[in-house]
């Protein structure tokens, strides 16, 4: 077109060039575009027949311009626009070309035709000069301008996160940053297991193995430090974390909590130094979460003061036992206590598996579970017992024992209460696992966010590529998960404090809280790491960038220490018991007061003004967030109680009633946990004195709350707590918070202070 004598003779024809280039830019001229352009050309009375025919030939689908011609067209337009076409339409660009080629004059006939040309541009669907963006050499967009900034002191936020645990965390991070802890470049099962065992010995040498045990047995009596160490270790290798947890936590703590002084003297010091590697043998093939149903037996023989430990059939074997396949020399074995033919329920016993040289003892059969989806540094095994005899003193007898006369004895009369008290002492595992999972979520998010801040992809036409973290979809994927991790961090600190300062009266609530937070944190971790993997694209799929190990090694956390679905049912049953007790203790005045408060809640929170309120101040109000969470929790709990009561009163067996309402019970557990997490996040933010940290944490807290409300918007709409206009406003506010937090996302993950050697992902290596 540019070389045509007709164009040189009549430069006014240049007005069509930007339109022609734009409709051909995708290499396909559609029938509707052809007809629109034909109509445009035929309507221009100032064109001669020859000029019109020539222009029509330029939009012939059967004879498209060549690639070289299109490049020539574009360069010519760019030369005239000088790369600053942002505020110009395609017709404006065409007019500028005409003006250039006529030495500053635009013919009056063409000026009169401009409205018709503008109308054609709109008809073709070019919105607000979007078509002209093809000709920008530089595009200044909001998306491109967004960048990382720091509005708070990163070290100050780290101190807030580590408050009270700084010393032990610093010690662990120093140890795991040592070259001795460099990740091995191997997939060999035995090599990996031996490396993890060496690492565990290094930790024991540093005094971390016995840190929770009493001073008289070589420890420091510091359970808080044990949890903090386990969390910090989770920045490194999860096989090591599990090995550490099995040896010093499950094996050692079972002896400590379920045994008495004679067991402590005999075993604890050697356990803490890893001289006596051991196992925690509870789970059976036939019975996973149902500990009460295990079938391994411990039969008492009064004549020689011994117990005989026996696996009655193959499905009663102990399965998936950490440390069993290679390294464990002893095990805490959970078995049914049989005295004179009578079953006295589950008790715990110390049973030897191997001698000091690692040889499996008579009566013990051990099989290797082999290669697993993850955690291949842990030697999981299967254990069978064939009439294995142990001395009476190796019964862990804090809660159940056999007297000198050969009779069963316990300080707790109730079988059920004794069983749950025994398991309750081991609730520490349900604190360590979610804290570990939060560390792996922090690691995954650090890798994904830092990579997304560096990785550039796509961009405005004519402009530079932008960091993928600037894209709303990417922010929507990662920022709520960053808020979740911060929320879980503070709520798990609260759980740890409750556990360490527990009283007997608190234990039911603490167990429920631990079960619920374990479920929420580990499910959140699994989801977070998957999103991090996808957010890193193909780079996230490479083993060298660590996300695959994090995903595979922690996937078991959702069923480890109790299946998450079962955990939430445990939470629900605890909440229902409290609910029932609350009403049982109410007199008439208390009942009327309760009903009055419920009515006030309905009037204050469910009036038309509130359910439709979309003001920013209201949507960001922490009181609105907490009220909404509490209302949902209470309503679901009340409706579940009514539902169960109705089923049971109609004659349904209570077991069937709970099964029918099982999905409802899971919602009870979820609503309770979400409320606790928000409460503790808000409380933690309120305690922060540093202004910069407080501001960014307040924003994260609002994002956590609103993203949970958005997740549960169907429930709020069904129950009339919100209307559609409000849930839409919440969605918009979540988008805005993700946009705002993106700018501080990198310093927010820097505040986790994860050692570079632990990140070990080339895609986030310092440049």
Percentage of residues of the chain with pLDDT beyond 70: 90
pLDDT in tens, 332-351: 999 999 999 999 999 999 99
Whether 767 and 451 have beta carbons less than 8 Å apart is answered as no
Residues 396 and 263: their CA atoms lie apart, in Å, by 7
Check pLDDT > 80 for residue 483: yes
pLDDT in tens, 727-757: 999 999 999 999 999 999 999 999 999 999 9
Check pLDDT > 60 for residue 613: yes
Q: What is the dihedral of CA 87, 92, 96, 101, to 10 degrees?
A: 160
Check pLDDT > 80 for residue 138: no
pLDDT at 100: 85
Between residues 168 and 562, which one has the greater pLDDT? Answer: 168
pLDDT in tens, 169-221: 999 999 999 999 999 888 889 999 999 999 999 999 999 999 999 999 989 99
Whether 759 and 447 have beta carbons less than 8 Å apart is answered as yes
pLDDT at 223: 94
Other beta carbons within 10 angstroms of residue 368's beta carbon come to 13
pLDDT at 657: 84
As a whole number, mean pLDDT of residues 662-669 equals 92
As a whole number, mean pLDDT of residues 153-161 equals 97
As a whole number, mean pLDDT of residues 669-686 equals 97
Report the alpha-carbon angle 376-379-383, nearest 5: 140
Whether 483 and 700 have beta carbons less than 8 Å apart is answered as yes
pLDDT at 21: 85
CA 647 to chain centre: 36
**What is the residue extent of each domain of the chain?**
5-138, 157-426, 430-764
pLDDT tier at 585, thresholds 50, 70, 90: low
Based on the number of CB atoms within 10 Å of its own CB, is 239 exposed (0-12), middle (13-18) or buried (19 or more)? Answer: buried
pLDDT at 129: 46
CA neighbor of 706 nearest in space, from 635, 634, 618, 637: 618
Residues 642 and 629: their CA atoms lie apart, in Å, by 20
Residues 529 and 521: their CA atoms lie apart, in Å, by 12
pLDDT at 80: 79
Count helices and strands in the chain by DSSP H and E runs: 34, 14
pLDDT at 598: 54
As a whole number, mean pLDDT of residues 75-80 equals 82
Print the SS3 string covering 244-288.
HHHHHHHHHHHHHHHCCHHHHHHHHHHHHCCCCCEEEECCECCCC
Residues 156 and 179: their CA atoms lie apart, in Å, by 28
CA atoms within 13 A on the CB side of 490: 25
Between residues 113 and 372, which one has the greater pLDDT? Answer: 372
> What's the topology of domain 430-764?
Butyryl-CoA Dehydrogenase, subunit A; domain 3 (1.20.140)
pLDDT at 584: 56
Phi then psi dihedrals of residue 347, to 5 deg:
-135, 175
Whether 237 and 199 have beta carbons less than 8 Å apart is answered as yes
Least confident of 340-354, 643-657, 676-690: 643-657
CA neighbor of 445 nearest in space, from 752, 758, 681, 743: 752
Least confident of 60-69, 381-390, 398-407: 60-69
- Can you say whether the dihedral through the CA atoms of 183, 186, 187, 190 is positive or negative? negative
CA neighbor of 483 nearest in space, from 176, 164, 227, 745: 745
Looking at the DSSP assignment, which residues form a beta bridge with residue 401?
Answer: 409
Q: How does the average pLDDT of the chain come out, rounded?
A: 88
- Across 288-363, the runs of DSSP E, i.e. the strands, are 297-301, 306-310, 318-321, 330-339, 342-352
Check pLDDT > 90 for residue 641: no
> What global pTM score does this model have?
0.83
Whether 749 and 157 have beta carbons less than 8 Å apart is answered as no
pLDDT at 541: 92
Kindly state which CATH superfamily the domain 157-426 is placed in.
Butyryl-CoA Dehydrogenase, subunit A, domain 2 (2.40.110.10)
pLDDT tier at 582, thresholds 50, 70, 90: low
Check pLDDT > 70 for residue 603: no
Pick the most confident of 90-99, 461-470, 676-685. Answer: 676-685
Q: How far are the Cα atoms of 158, 324, 345, 434, 673 from residue 279, in angstroms, in the given order?
A: 35, 6, 21, 21, 31
pLDDT at 58: 86
Check pLDDT > 70 for residue 128: no
As a whole number, mean pLDDT of residues 568-590 equals 72
Based on the number of CB atoms within 10 Å of its own CB, is 505 exposed (0-12), middle (13-18) or buried (19 or more)? Answer: exposed
Provide the terminal-to-terminal Cα distance of the chain, rounded to the nearest Å.
49
pLDDT at 712: 97
pLDDT in tens, 231-287: 999 999 999 999 999 999 999 999 999 999 999 999 999 999 999 999 999 999 988
pLDDT in tens, 91-104: 888 888 888 888 77
């Amino acid at each position: 077109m540019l070389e045509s004598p007709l164009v040189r003779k009549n430069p006014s024809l240049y007005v069509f060039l930007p339109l022609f280039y734009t409709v051909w830019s995708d290499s396909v001229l559609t029938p509707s575009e052809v007809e629109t352009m034909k109509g445009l050309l035929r309507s221009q009375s100032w064109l001669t027949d020859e000029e019109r025919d020539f222009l029509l030939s330029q939009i012939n689908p059967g004879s498209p311009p060549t690639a070289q011609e299109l490049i020539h067209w574009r360069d010519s337009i760019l030369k005239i626009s000088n790369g600053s076409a942002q505020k110009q339409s395609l017709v404006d660009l065409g007019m500028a070309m005409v003006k250039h080629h006529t030495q500053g004059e635009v013919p009056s006939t063409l000026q009169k035709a401009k409205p018709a040309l503008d109308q054609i541009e709109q008809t073709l669907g070019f919105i607000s000069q979007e078509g002209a963006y093809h000709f920008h050499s530089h595009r200044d967009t909001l998306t491109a301008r967004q960048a990382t900034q720091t509005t708070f002191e990163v070290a100050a936020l780290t101190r807030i996160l580590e408050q009270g645990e700084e010393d032990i965390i610093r010690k662990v991070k120093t140890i795991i940053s040592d070259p001795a802890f460099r990740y091995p470049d191997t997939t060999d099962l035995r090599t990996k297991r031996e490396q993890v065992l060496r690492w565990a010995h290094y930790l024991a040498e540093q005094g971390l193995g016995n840190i929770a045990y009493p001073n008289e047995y070589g420890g420091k009596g510091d359970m808080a430090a044990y949890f903090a160490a386990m969390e910090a270790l989770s920045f490194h290798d999860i096989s090591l974390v599990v090995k550490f947890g099995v040896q010093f936590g499950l094996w050692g703590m079972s002896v400590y909590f379920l045994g008495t002084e004679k067991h402590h003297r005999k075993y604890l010091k050697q356990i803490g130094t890893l001289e006596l590697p051991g196992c925690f043998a509870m789970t059976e093939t036939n019975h996973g979460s149902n500990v009460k149903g295990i079938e391994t037996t411990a039969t008492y023989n009064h004549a020689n003061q011994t117990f005989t430990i026996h696996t009655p059939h193959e499905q009663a074997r102990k399965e998936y036992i950490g440390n069993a396949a290679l390294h464990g020399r002893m095990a805490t074995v959970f078995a049914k206590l049989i005295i004179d033919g009578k079953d006295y329920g589950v008790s715990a016993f110390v049973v030897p598996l191997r001698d000091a040289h690692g040889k499996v003892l008579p009566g013990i059969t051990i099989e290797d579970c082999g290669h697993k989806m993850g955690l291949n540094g842990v030697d999981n095994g299967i254990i069978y017992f064939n009439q294995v005899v142990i001395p009476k003193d190796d019964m862990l007898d804090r809660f159940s024992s056999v007297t000198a006369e050969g009779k069963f004895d316990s300080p707790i009369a109730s079988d059920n209460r004794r069983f749950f008290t025994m398991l309750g002492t081991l609730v520490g595992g349900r604190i360590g696992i979610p804290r570990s999972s939060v560390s792996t979520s922090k690691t995954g998010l650090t890798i994904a966010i830092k990579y997304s801040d560096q990785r550039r992809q796509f961009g405005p036409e004519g402009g530079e590529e932008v960091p993928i973290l600037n894209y709303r979809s990417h922010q929507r994927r990662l920022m709520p998960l960053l808020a979740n991790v911060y929320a879980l961090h503070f709520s798990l600190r609260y759980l740890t404090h409750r556990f360490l300062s527990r009283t007997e009266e608190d234990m039911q609530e603490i167990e429920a809280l631990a079960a619920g937070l374990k479920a929420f944190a580990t499910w959140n971790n699994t989801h977070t790491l998957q999103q991090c993997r996808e957010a890193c694209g193909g780079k996230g799929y490479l083993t060298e960038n660590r996300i695959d190990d994090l995903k595979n090694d922690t996937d078991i956390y959702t069923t480890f220490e109790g299946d998450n679905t079962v955990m939430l049912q445990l939470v629900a049953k605890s909440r229902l018991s409290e609910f029932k007790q609350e009403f049982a203790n109410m007199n008439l005045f208390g009942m009327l007061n309760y009903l009055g408060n419920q009515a006030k809640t309905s009037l204050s929170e469910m009036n038309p003004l509130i359910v439709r309120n979309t003001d920013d101040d209201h949507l960001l109000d922490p009181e609105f967030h907490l009220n909404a969470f509490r209302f949902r929790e209470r309503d679901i709990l009340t409706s579940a109680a009514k539902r169960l009561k109705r089923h049971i009163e109609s004659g349904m067996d209570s077991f069937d009633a709970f099964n029918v309402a099982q999905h409802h019970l899971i919602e009870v557990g979820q609503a309770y946990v979400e409320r606790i997490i928000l409460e503790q996040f808000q409380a933690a933010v309120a305690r922060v004195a540093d202004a910069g940290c407080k501001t960014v944490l307040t924003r994260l807290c609002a994002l956590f709350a609103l993203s949970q409300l958005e997740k549960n918007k169907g429930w709020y709409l069904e129950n009339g707590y919100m209307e559609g206009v409000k849930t839409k406003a919440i969605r918009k506010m979540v988008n805005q918070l993700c946009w705002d937090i993106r700018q501080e996302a990198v310093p927010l993950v820097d505040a986790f202070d994860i050692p570079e050697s632990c990140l070990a992902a080339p895609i986030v290596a310092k440049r």
